[in-house]
Amino acid sequence: MTIKEVCSRFGISPDTLRYYERVGVIPEVHRTPGGIRDYTEEDLGWVETAACFRSAGMPIELLIEYVRLYKEGDGTIAERCALLRKARERILAERQKCDDALRKMEYKIRVYEKAVRTGRLDWDGDDGCCNCSSPKQEE
């Protein structure tokens, strides 16, 4: 598969894909005898993983470390598992922040929709955002 096809399939730019290979986010890609990248199914699996994890906010450094450990072989399975657990915790924490912000946004939408119906803006009540430190009222 060509670089153009891979980029189209995963929604990333050719520059990003080349960067991933250059810094070790994905292992070195198979090439034709003429040196042109020719992505195999195994290569596509790495690209898919990298694109997925990056879209979830996984740092480049963790991906590079994961690939490095993979290249070292099965003796690093426990380390790879620990690395993925660490990345999962980071993603879960980010998801919690997004969930909190979404609850606050939904509260504000409800208040504004009620104000449109009643002609009165009233910020009294629970905003549904238990982890946000900002005040309920608009500043």
pLDDT digit string, tens, across residues 100-127? 999 999 999 999 999 999 999 999 766 6
Residue 74 lies in a domain: no
pLDDT in the model for residue 133? 52
Residue at 30 is within a domain: yes
In the chain, % of residues over pLDDT 70? 89
Q: What is the pTM of this model?
A: 0.73
Number of domains the chain contains: 2
Domain assignment of residue 12, given as a range: 1-60
Question: Does 20 have pLDDT greater than 90?
Answer: yes
Question: Residue 116 class from Cβ within 10 Å (0-12 exposed, 13-18 middle, 19+ buried)?
Answer: exposed
16 and 56 share one domain = yes
Q: How far is CA 132 from CA 33, 127, 129, in A?
A: 57, 10, 6
Both 94 and 129 in one domain: the answer is yes
Q: What does the pLDDT look like over 46-61, one tens digit per residue?
A: 999 999 999 988 999 9
